[in-house]
Amino acid sequence: MSIKLEMNKENILIATIDQAGRTANVINDESRKGFESLIKKLKSDDNIEGVIITSGKDDFVVGGDIDAIYAIKNEKEAFEVVETFKGFLRELETCGRPVIAALNGTALGGGLELALACHYRIALDEKKLKLGLPEVMLGLLPGAGGTQRLARLIGIQNAAPLMFEGRKLSATEGQELGIIHELASTKEDMMEKASKWIRKNPTPKQPWDKKDFQWPGGDPVSGEAMNIWAVGPSMINQKAWGNYPAPIYIMACLFEGTRVDFDTALRIESAYFAKCVLSKESHNMINTLWYQLNDIKKGKYRLASVPKYTAKKVGVIGAGMMGAGIAYVSASAGIDVVLKDVTNESADKGKDYSRNLLAKRVKKGKMTEAKAEEILSRIKPTGDAKDFEGCDLIVEAVFEKRELKAKVTKEASEHMLKDGIFASNTSTLPITGLAEQYPHPENFIGLHFFSPVDKMQLVEIITGAKTSPETLAKSFDYVQQINKIPIIVNDSRGFYTSRVFQTYVMEGMALLAEGENPASIETLSFMAGMPVGPLALADELSLRLMAEIFETTKKDLLAEGKKVTESPGMEVVFKLLNEFKREGKKAGAGLYEYPKEGKKFLWPKLKEVFPSKKAPMSEIDMRDRILFAQAVEAARCYEEKVVTNTGDANVGSIFGWGFAPFKGGVLQFINDYGTRDFVVRAQDLTKKYGPRFSPPASLVKLAEKNAPIT
């Protein structure tokens, strides 16, 4: 039984949700059956004075069962599933007797919606207890009355952002907002408070079921409220660019909910919920941000036979932006850090990076001063490699020069633990070659961090030819230890993320070379789902660096006797560098102008330097080129086994360079498009724009049967 029912001496029915075989309770068929029997019991036993709903797990209820939601095949089914659950909740809150939610732990999604259908909510005052309606993160909406009850409880203006952002609240924040009525110090205290409330309030009614109900925060129908409805969708699309239907549907639930009675509003919400469940966006997001991300987090691609490793003392070589960031995230995770640079002073400067970040957190009230001090004390800045003594892991983050890297590798290897791991944070140099400089190449690996390290969640782990499975597994553990997401890739030029990411930047440049409007290139990239435009990114990278990387790559490829294909976008790089001396953002002049005051803007002369040669390209061709360039390259990486599973490819694309999350990442984009249609379109783009769009053979083969990439 998923819900245990016990009558206590005071004739209060204690309903304890405790689903067998699960670490946390969810809303699914099984729990719904539990609610059905709870309702039956309530109806058949007039002796029941009141009900207390609580949980037998650490958490209360953590939400709907994603497996069940993902399996839903049509809108009617989705509609009926939530309508059934809603029916139970409606019966609970109108049963004429007090129903209390005793939140012993986290209540999210359907869990919080269940609590909202109770007359009174008491929560344990514990830090780990979280409250929230995070459905939007997976392209869904609170479909069990959450949009309606929360809005009627705390007002639309307070409720809307919680649902749009999926933000999680502490019990205290919940109380401040009016979601939680009372906090309790212990479980006993909570049950005592619940019983007391039941005795005092024998026949409670929900605010929305009272005749004198008034919307908190003012009339949502007329006057000022009209401005809020008018601007709402545009506010959402400021970041969403029209790509995320769920928040718009949430807003529609709220809006229509203000025009109709409560029960009708619940039914309208169910219909919008059904639309969300069947949306491609939700399907893509669940695929990648739920299943594939969870697979990574659970270590599906980590060799299970290697015992779990915990890094104790980490050495970081190079106290520049990357090294300083790696030191910060490591120290924050409780690891002792030796931060080395050429001199003590420059290493100190690297430590200042952490000092500043921590001070900001303290100032914002997110951390205590003591905690910040503790973290800071773990970082030892030094100019002496001897301080690496006892380090079980070294991460090197010096300039991308082979000789320099060889030198620091050798130096560190003399002092660190003999069986320690040496990791290179390179984004361009092949790992196998770098490993030769280390006495134990089997313990050598690539850890590609992203900038800024404290914000970017991804770390790309690169295995060299000789890297051992143990080293890989331990590196994986370290990345998780510092609360980052590890993906595993094989050694290859540009590895995975840089290689695919640069196709995005170069495609934007190619469009510019063809004379397309630069503003259109940037805007259409946003509309395609990319967070930063390709021309802005080129400036961030610096055109000088792009040219250098291109020359090095060309040299290397020629040395290997391989063919060099120059992306048509390189024309822009060389022209701006050589003819106009525009190097990028750091130089203060690139594709953009960077005025001392005010925002950057596209260099007005771009249109003259790269004049339009024909009528503007269709928006759909531009958007497709931006996404297909990346997807085709990712498919090649998959074929070449640079990435070895779709999860790493998709998760890496979203967290590495921000590839459209609503597409579920770069390979899911192909699956969502349908491999057959994708190949047809890619071949069409190849004919029109060049061989970089040509789909790899493995994809063409899948397309024959329209089979997805797995």
252 vs 317 by CB, closer to another protein? 252
Show the tokens assigned to 692. Answer: 């970089």
241 touches another protein by CB under 8 A? yes
- Which position among 137, 527, 532, 570 is part of the footprint of another protein (CB under 8 A)? 527
Going by C-alpha positions, the residue among 94, 41, 36, 31 that lies closest to residue 62 is 31
In DSSP terms, 315 is beta-bridged to 338, 394
- Which position among 208, 255, 290, 291 is part of the footprint of another protein (CB under 8 A)? 255
221 vs 564 by CB, closer to another protein? 221
**Which range of residues in 4-12, 70-78, 111-119, 243-251 is near another protein by CB under 8 A?**
243-251
Q: At closest approach, how far in Å is the CB of 253 from another protein?
A: 9
- Which position among 523, 553, 644, 694 is part of the footprint of another protein (CB under 8 A)? 523
Inter-residue contact 626 to 534 (CB < 8 Å): yes
441 vs 590 by CB, closer to another protein? 590
Q: At closest approach, how far in Å is the CB of 252 from another protein?
A: 5
524 touches another protein by CB under 8 A? yes
What is the CA angle 536-538-542, rounded to 5?
120
What is the CA angle 525-674-273, rounded to 5?
75
Measured distance CA(426)–CA(404) in Å, rounded: 12
List % helix, strand, coil for the chain (3-state, nearest 5).
Answer: 55, 10, 35
In the range 605-634, which residues lie near another protein by CB under 8 A?
616, 619
Q: At closest approach, how far in Å is the CB of 524 from another protein?
A: 5
Measured distance CA(209)–CA(69) in Å, rounded: 30
Q: At closest approach, how far in Å is the CB of 401 from another protein?
A: 38
In the range 208-237, which residues lie near another protein by CB under 8 A?
222, 226, 229-237
Q: At closest approach, how far in Å is the CB of 341 from another protein?
A: 40
Measured distance CA(255)–CA(243) in Å, rounded: 20
* Alpha-carbon torsion angle 414, 416, 422, 424, nearest 10: -80
231 vs 303 by CB, closer to another protein? 231
CB atoms within 10 A of CB 153: 18
Alpha-carbon distance values, 407 to 32, 223, 402, 412 (Å) = 64, 70, 9, 9
469 vs 616 by CB, closer to another protein? 616
Measured distance CA(405)–CA(685) in Å, rounded: 41
What is the CA angle 339-388-454, rounded to 5?
30
Q: At closest approach, how far in Å is the CB of 512 from another protein?
A: 13
**Is residue 408 exposed (0-12), middle (13-18) or buried (19+ Cβ within 10 Å)?**
buried
354 vs 517 by CB, closer to another protein? 517
CB atoms within 10 A of CB 695: 26
**Which range of residues in 5-13, 95-103, 516-524, 693-701 is near another protein by CB under 8 A?**
516-524
Q: At closest approach, how far in Å is the CB of 232 from another protein?
A: 6
Inter-residue contact 667 to 650 (CB < 8 Å): yes
Size of the residue set binding another protein (CB under 8 A):
34
Q: At closest approach, how far in Å is the CB of 244 from another protein?
A: 10
Site string for another protein, 384-423 (x = CB under 8 A): ----------------------------------------
In DSSP terms, 117 is beta-bridged to none
Site string for another protein, 474-513 (x = CB under 8 A): ----------------------------------------
- Which position among 359, 362, 519, 532 is part of the footprint of another protein (CB under 8 A)? 519
583 touches another protein by CB under 8 A? no
Site string for another protein, 587-606 (x = CB under 8 A): ------------x-xx----
Per-residue buried b or exposed e for 79-108, using 16+ beta carbons within 10 Å of the residue's own CB: bebbbebbebbbbbbebebbbbbbbbbbbb
- Which position among 61, 95, 129, 252 is part of the footprint of another protein (CB under 8 A)? 252
Measured distance CA(573)–CA(534) in Å, rounded: 13
Interface residue list for another protein (CB under 8 A): 222, 226, 229-238, 241-242, 248-249, 251-252, 254-256, 517-520, 522-524, 527, 599, 601-602, 616, 619
